Copies of this chain bind each other. A is one copy, B any other.
């Protein structure tokens, strides 16, 4: 099979709805997809690795990158900066790879404007109650942060209509299979909306 074209893949969801797990599953199953490692100023968490999960940089470094126009999109979220480097995306596409981005909606909308050829997918949780449970079970966030994430989730859902396709993230294996199917469909110029 010859793939006709490569493009970035945007995966967004409210915080806690599992976009990282879905991205991991797509990457594990599909050798044509590479992960776009974002830059962030937020502190590193438990098992995360610098340069693998994120490039962890200082606020000064991040602001310098903004000035040098190195970001295809960047956004502030809960007091920290997150950004996607133009170079990361271009290098992957040149290697004939799809490049998957795990980003929140504000950044995603900017990215879509800059690269309208991207495939954009929005993941809904099965319910808001389940989203809240997943956030609480994560135990990395204080009570007020969880409340903010839930309130943000409502705004993020309101922005979901901008995305190419919607899925409910109720089964990581099934959802990641569907995403891979759509990636190849789009690459072969087939319909991806039905």
Query: Interface size for chain A: under 10, 10 to 19, 20 to 34, or 35 or more residues?
Result: 20 to 34
Can you name 29 A-B residue pairings with CB atoms under 8 Å? Answer: A124-B124, A124-B166, A125-B166, A126-B165, A126-B193, A126-B194, A127-B164, A127-B165, A127-B166, A127-B192, A127-B193, A127-B194, A128-B161, A129-B164, A129-B193, A130-B194, A133-B193, A133-B194, A153-B161, A154-B158, A154-B161, A157-B157, A157-B158, A157-B160, A157-B161, A158-B158, A166-B168, A167-B168, A170-B194
A125–B127 Cα distance when bound, in Å, is 16
Closest Cβ of chain B: how far from A130's Cβ, in Å?
5
Closest Cβ of chain B: how far from A22's Cβ, in Å?
15
Q: Which residues of B contact A124 (CB under 8 A)?
A: 124, 166, 168
Q: Which residues of B contact A166 (CB under 8 A)?
A: 124-127, 168
A51–B110 Cα distance when bound, in Å, is 49
A153–B166 Cα distance when bound, in Å, is 14
Having A167-B168, A168-B168, one finds 12 other A-B pairs with CB under 8 Å, namely A126-B193, A127-B163, A127-B166, A127-B193, A129-B164, A130-B193, A130-B194, A153-B161, A157-B157, A157-B160, A157-B161, A166-B168
Interface string of A118-158 (1 = CB under 8 A from B): 00000011111110010000000000000000000110011
Closest Cβ of chain B: how far from A133's Cβ, in Å?
7
Closest to A157 in B: B161
A163–B128 Cα distance when bound, in Å, is 8
A158–B158 Cα distance when bound, in Å, is 4
Closest Cβ of chain B: how far from A48's Cβ, in Å?
27
Q: Which residues of B contact A126 (CB under 8 A)?
A: 165-166, 193-194
